[in-house]
């Protein structure tokens, strides 16, 4: 069973707006925010692999080791830290591109890439 759709802009299809009579999160803007974040990190993972030979989970692991306990960074501070860890501007460049969009980010290329390059399964620390 696969949980990754390779259909072009599959995540965007989830965010076209509420259906008549829908309530809750699906009816609000939280859906775009949630899936927009997923689209951002899929694209970042693809770029990291292509440009730096590393994966998103590598950056997150290093972030947890060095910086997770730091408070007051905000999203831009965290993005700059991710850029520093990856020795790139991939996170900040993808963020700048994403926030400029009027609609949902295109996900077809990232989804297709991710389907062929799934991240490794790892154990949670302490388990």
Q: What is the residue-wise DSSP string for 30-98? A: HHHHHHHHHHHHHHHHHHHHHHHS--HHHHHHHHHHHTTT--S-HHHHHHHHHHHHHTSSHHHHHHHHH
In angstroms, the CA 66 to CA 54 distance is 18
Q: What is the pLDDT of residues 67-118, one digit of tens each?
A: 877 766 788 888 999 999 999 999 999 999 988 888 888 889 998 998 998 8
In angstroms, the CA 33 to CA 99 distance is 11
> 73-94 as b/e, with b when 16 or more CB fall inside 10 Å?
eeeeeebebbbebbebebbeeb
Least confident of 3-12, 18-27, 36-45: 3-12
pLDDT above 70 covers a percentage of the chain that reads 67
In angstroms, the CA 81 to CA 68 distance is 10
Q: Where residue 49 falls among pLDDT bands split at 50, 70, 90?
A: very high
Q: Which residue has the tokens 């599959």?
A: 10
Q: What is the CA angle 108-22-2, rounded to 5?
A: 35
| 1 token code pair | 């069973």
Domain boundaries, the chain: 11-107
pTM over 0.75: no
Say which residue, 127 or 65, is predicted with more confidence. 65
């Amino acid at each position: 069973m696969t949980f990754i759709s390779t259909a072009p802009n599959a995540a965007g299809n989830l965010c076209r707006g509420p259906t008549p009579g829908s309530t809750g999160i699906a009816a609000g803007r939280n859906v775009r925010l949630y899936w927009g974040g997923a689209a951002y990190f899929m694209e970042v993972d693809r770029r990291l692999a292509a440009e730096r030979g590393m994966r998103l989970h590598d950056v997150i692991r290093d972030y947890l080791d060095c910086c997770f306990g730091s408070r007051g960074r905000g999203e831009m501070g965290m993005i700059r830290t991710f850029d520093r860890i990856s020795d790139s501007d991939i996170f900040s460049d993808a963020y700048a591109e994403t926030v400029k969009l009027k609609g949902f980010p295109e996900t077809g290329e990232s989804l297709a890439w991710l389907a062929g390059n799934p991240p490794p399964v790892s154990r949670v620390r302490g388990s």
